[in-house]
Structure 1
Amino acid sequence: MTTTPSEPTAPLSEAERSWRRQVVDETRASTALEGGSSTDAMRELQEQWVDGRITADELVAGARRLHPTSAPR
Structure 2
Amino acid sequence: LETYSHAKITSKVIVAELLGSEYIVHTDLNGESIKAIVHSRQNIKMGDELTFALDMNRAHFFDVDTELSILE
TM-score (norm 1): 0.24
Structure with greater proportional strand content: 2
Structure with greater proportional helix content: 1
